[in-house]
Chains A and B, each alone.
Chain A
Amino acid sequence: MNGKDTPLAPAPAAPATPAPAAPAPEPRPNPLAHLPLPFQTADYSLKGYHLDATVQPGQVVLAAQLMDREGFSLDTITGVDWLAQGQMEVVYDYFHPGRGFRAVVRARIPRENPEIPTLSQVFPGANWHERETHDFFGIRFLGHPDLSPFLLPEDADYHPLRKDFTA
C-alpha cells in the first residue's frame, strides 16, 4: 500500500508444503514461506484462498503481528462449532490490499472452555469481529476491551450459532 509497507517478498525456491496430491495442480509458490507459520498452499479456484495455516491458540497473536508486518489486512474473524469433536474453530481471514492475496489462519480450542487471545491490539478492526464471535459462539477473547453483546440484545446470555443451541 502506497509503498509504505514492504511488499511480500518473493518466495524462496522450495515451498515447505508436500507435493500437491490434489487433482488440480497449483504450482504457485508460497510467498509467505519465510514466515514461521505452517502455511499450506491451497487451490484458489476451489477454495477461494491461497494459503491456509492451522496454529496453536497461543500463536494467533504472533500470526497476526507477522501478517500485519507483511501488509495484510484482517478480513474477518469467525467461529465454527465442531460439536462432535468437542472443539471450537476460530478462523482468521486475511487479505492483502496491495497484492490481492488471501490467507487463512485457524486455531482449535476446547469447546467446554473456549478461550483465545484477542487480536485487537494488533488490528483494531478485530474488536467488532471478536465481539460478534463472542455473541454467536461464546468464545472468550482474552484481553478484549469489551465483550458486551454486539449484535444480540444487551441482556443476551445465549450463543445462537452453537450447534446445541435451541430457541
Chain B
Amino acid sequence: MIVNEPNPPGSAATAPNETFVLNLGPQHPATHGVLRVKMTMDGECVLRAEPVCGYIHRMQEKMGENRTYAQYLPNTSRIDYLSAMTYTHAFVGAVERAARIQVPPRAEYIRVITSELNRISSHLVWWGAFLLDLGGFTPLLYAFDDREMILDLLEGITGARLTYCYYRFGGLYNDVDETFLKGTRQFVLHMRPRLKMYRALVTDNVILRKRLIGIGPISPELCRKYGATGPVIRGSGVAYDVRKAEPYSVYPELDFDIPAFPEGDSMARYLVRMEEIAQSLRLIEQALDKLPAGPVMAEKVPRVLKLPAGDYCYAVEAARGRFMVRLVSDNKEIPYRVKLRTPCLSNLSLFEEASRGMLLADALALMGSLDLVIPDIDR
C-alpha cells in the first residue's frame, strides 16, 4: 500500500543540507595537467575547493643541490614549460649577479626579444585552452596557428621548441641570424591585425562576456595576502610587474605600459593578458630597432663557477607572474640551496577562498583565468 506522505524519507526535499565530495582531477580534462581539487559541493555550489598538489612533484630543488650551476640550468626551463625563457633568465640572472658577470647589451636585448616572444606564445596557449574550458573550441586552433610562428622562430635560434636553454651565464648560446630578425619583424606585423581579429571573434562576444564578467572577483587585498602576482594581481587593478618594480635586463631602456584592470573578475584577467600581448609586441619592435652590435657573451666567464658564499635572489616577470630564484652558496661548485618561488603556487593558493560559494561551472572559469601550469606548482 502506498502511503502518500508529503515528503517520503530519502527524497531530496527531506535531505538535511546534504553535501557531497567531488574529485576534480588529477586527470580531469577540465584541469590542465594533473591538478586535483577536492570539492565539497552543495548541489551546484562549491562549499570548499581544496587543491591537492604534488602529483608531478619532481624535487627540482633537491636536484639543484647535487649538480653544478651549469648542469642545473636546463632544469629551470622545465618548471613552467610554457614560459621557459623567463625562468632560465631568472636563474642565469641570479648567478650573474652573484659572480658579478657583466652581460653584453646585445645579449640583453636579445633576451628581451626572446622572453617577450615566449610570453606571447604562453598567453596564446592560455587563451586557447581557457576558451576550450569555457566550451569554445575554434579559438584554440587560431591560437596555435599563431603560436607556431613563434615556436619556429625560437627553434631556429635555440634548437628547442619549448624547453629552451638559450640563455647562458654571461650571455647567450649563440647570436641571432637574419632569418630570426626578419621573421620576428614579420611576426609583429602579422600579430597586430590578428589581435584585432581575436577581439572581434572572441573578446567582444556576448556569450564570453556573460561567462566572465563579474565571475570570480578577486580583491587586491586577497592578492596581497596570498602573494598572487602576474595577470591575477593586475586584473585586480594593481599595476605590479617585476619588469617595472624591480627592473632587470634592459627593460628600463624600453617603453611599455603595465595593463591593469580594476574589476578583479575573470574578464579583467582575460583583458590583462590580451593587452599584454600587444605590449610585448611593442617591446619586441623597440628592442629590434635598438638592437646593438657586439658580442653576445661576456668575456672570461669561468668554466666552473664558484659563487661567493651568501644568498642571492633574482626575480623576473614570467608569463604567470613573479618568478624568483633564491640561491644560497657556500663557495662550492654546486649550490648549497636553490629555492624556486613560482607564481602559480601563490596564484592557486587563493582559489579556495575565492571560489567559496560559486557555481561549479563558474569556479572552473575562475580557475582557467588563473592560468595554471601544474609543474610550476609542484616543481
Contact = CB atoms under 8 A, between A and B. Distances in A.
Contacts of A98: 238, 240
Contacts of A48: 94, 97, 246, 312-315, 324, 326
Contact of B227 (A2, A73, A152): A73
Contacts of A97: 220, 223-224, 229, 233, 238, 240, 245
Interface stretch (A8-16, A28-36, A110-118, A123-131): A123-131
B81 interface: no
A78 B339 contact: yes
B326 A78 contact: yes
B238 A75 contact: no
25 contacts: A1-B224, A2-B220, A47-B97, A48-B315, A49-B313, A75-B227, A76-B346, A78-B326, A93-B326, A95-B245, A97-B238, A102-B246, A124-B226, A124-B349, A125-B349, A127-B349, A128-B349, A136-B61, A151-B53, A151-B378, A151-B379, A152-B54, A152-B57, A160-B59, A161-B61
A66 interface: no
Contacts, number: 121
B62 A93 contact: no
A80 B312 contact: no
A100 interface: yes
Contacts of B226: 123-125
B238 A102 contact: no
Interface in B322-338: 322, 324, 326, 328, 336-337
A29 B60 CA distance: 37
Interface residues of A, number: 39
Given A76-B339, A93-B313, A150 B53 contact: yes
B211 interface: no
B376 to A, nearest CB: 12
Interface in A109-167: 123-125, 127-128, 136, 149-153, 160-161
Given A75-B341, A124-B349, 9 more contacts: A75-B227, A78-B337, A97-B223, A123-B225, A124-B226, A125-B227, A125-B349, A125-B350, A151-B53
B246 A74 contact: no
B227 A76 contact: yes
A19 interface: no
B253 interface: no
Contacts of B346: 76, 125
Contacts of A151: 53-54, 57, 378-379
A59 B207 CA distance: 52
A47 B227 contact: no
A153 B337 CA distance: 22
Interface of B: 53-54, 57, 59, 61-62, 65, 94, 97-98, 100, 220-221, 223-229, 233, 237-238, 240, 242, 244-246, 262, 310-315, 322, 324, 326, 328, 336-337, 339, 341, 345-346, 349-350, 353, 378-379
Contact of B324 (A93, A127, A149): A93
- Interface centre among B262, B336, B346, B379, by most chain A C-beta atoms within 10 angstroms, is B346
A151 B36 CA distance: 12
A69 B100 CA distance: 35
Contacts of B98: 46
Contacts of A74: 225, 227
B324 A76 contact: yes
Interface in A53-106: 71, 73-76, 78, 80-81, 91, 93, 95, 97-100, 102
B62 A160 contact: yes
A46 B57 contact: no
Contacts of A161: 61-62, 65, 337
Contacts of A160: 59, 62
B100 A75 contact: no
B57 A124 contact: no
A2 B237 contact: yes
A124 B220 CA distance: 14
Contacts of B310: 47
A69 B233 CA distance: 19
A102 B54 contact: no
Nearest to B64: A161
